[in-house]
Structure 1
């Protein structure tokens, strides 16, 4: 007599197929009378999504222990503010960010080191410290910005001196073609002529120096002021190379500009 063959469950020998109506473990652990609120509606506590993600009591217990360990501790970093954050929230966020990054309490808290041999400009340094504090820069960021500014300033000065040296060489070459070996002496006469006119016009030495720095290598101006210096080497007006011209041949600056520069006749 043949015996009926037994068929093992699909999940393997001896495995139990879960019932489609099996209840979640939370529903077994928490009575339905325990409720909570989700979106304004009362639902069973066992149905809350934040609890349903745990596979069992052990997972939930581990999560609880980890959360307890974080209570009272300051987390590193700040969560980005939402677009509709209030002014109060933004102020609190800024204050906390400044605390975390070490922004000084006031502008005077920045200790800015300058390159060796460089003297601080009190006005510029005060402005820089105030700006750094308003922008919420950390001391390291403020020092880094200062270093980069000074590097740029030093590079700009070097480039200016290089360009100035090139212009002066070109100017000297042009004047040597015009005057030959007398070019250096004539350039000195031009410089003294300009200084004399500038003094009569009421310019102080600093203003005169700035103009010479900006335009003193212009061949046209050198030729112009050489003529002024040459025709006005009169005692008390322009002294130096070539000696004073006879008093009767000297021109006032007004007469020089009228006759030589503008082609008219002086008074």
Structure 2
């Protein structure tokens, strides 16, 4: 082919695909946060038009994001009703928290053996930042740092099979774990648990850390059940 000739087809540029993936991930993150922080409550039907307007997007990336969230168990999609925020039954809630307590305990046991000095420093920094958020009554800030601490402990366990299972199960519980701190007494109790977690981690006491983490999650379960029971009672009183 001569230099002056132009090929009939040119390679398709890759940038649009990258940008589209970034948009897709961003939409998933936003809606997941809406669910976790209770902006979108369990059982709520999602209005696609309102979500598109809120996020400044078209329906295509929204629907792609909803499929991802449905696969994570955070929403349910019905051909007739559209998408609704998933709501766990009491039995599902109990069983999932029990499973998570075991995953957290195992993470702690392994992390105490395998954590690096740099990872421990990062967790300590998150712990103090979390405490600062508590002092300012910043629940969203507190929760993001709280979850980062649990996540770093799981990462420090260095077990890929555990990691994969942990992420999948935890996504279903994040909104419930967030709500478990609505009561001041529960919130302060969780802070105390984290103080003890840090001590056990610094001492490399895997057995103690596993014990604290297991009970911490079971206490979360009980707090969530109490909140859910109160909400169900209030709803019942409104309809009688």
TM-score interval, normalised by the smaller of the two chains: under 0.3
What is the TM-score when the length of structure 2 is the normalising length? 0.21
**Bigger relative CO (Cα 8 Å, ≥ 6 apart):** 2
What is the TM-score when the length of structure 1 is the normalising length? 0.19
